[in-house]
Amino acid sequence: MNVAFLVAPKGVEQVELTEPWQAVKDAGGTPRLVSTKAGRIQAYSHLDKADTFPVDQTVADASVDEYDGLVLPGGVANPDFLRLDEKAVSFVKGFFDAGKPVAAICHAPWTLVEADVVRGRVLTSWPSVRTDIRNAGGTWVDEQVHVCEQGSNVLVTSRKPGDLEAFDKTFVAEFAKAAAS
């Protein structure tokens, strides 16, 4: 199971990157860090700088065909930077067009809104994103983790770092099912 983690050069919430990353590795998968720029990304613990991580591939060089699924970690700034990058938004939309599973946590659904893939879907997020989801035609629910299946598309969403255990377990299971089919 090859999984892309799409992250902006700065602003990702570290725990929302590292814990899902480890869950993919624990399941025998291969996580890869995809970003809008080469080099290293700067993670944060809320508003404080945390660790940096090496980028495996730029979004300009990445192809949806290389991956079985996509994880969008949150952080307030991360999805805001991503939704301003046309290639990042196209990469996200490509997973939906290809019928591949996507997982997003916290503020990450902002990128989904920009990719215009929320309409008709039910998802959760950090509460401040709910109006954006509703305005984009989605239905927001306040749940620890929510799985929305729409045709061959599976979208797994969670609200916050406190939901990571349920988020990781759920998205890894959904990605494994999709990779096996």
107 flagged as catalytic:
yes
43-62 tens-digit pLDDT? 999 989 999 999 999 999 99
- Find tokens 């990469």 and name the residue: 91
User: For the residues of 159-174, what is the DSSP string, one character each?
Assistant: SSGGGHHHHHHHHHHH
Based on the structure, what is the number of domains in the chain? 1
The packing angle between helices 14-26 and 164-180, to 10°, is 40
Instruction: Classify residue 9 by its DSSP letter.
Output: S
**Domain that includes residue 138, residue range:** 2-180
Q: Is-contact 144 158, C-beta < 8 A?
A: yes
Residue 164: alpha-carbon gap to chain centroid: 13
Count of all residues that appear for the chain in the document: 181
Torsion of CA 16, 22, 23, 28, to 10 degrees: 150
Whether this model's pTM surpasses 0.95: yes
68-114 tens-digit pLDDT? 999 999 999 999 999 999 999 999 999 999 999 999 999 999 999 99
What CATH number should be reported for the domain holding residue 26? 3.40.50.880
Helices (H), 39-126: 77-82, 86-97, 109-114
Annotated active-site residue in 32, 107, 121, 146: 107
φ/ψ (deg, to 5) at 58: -85, 155
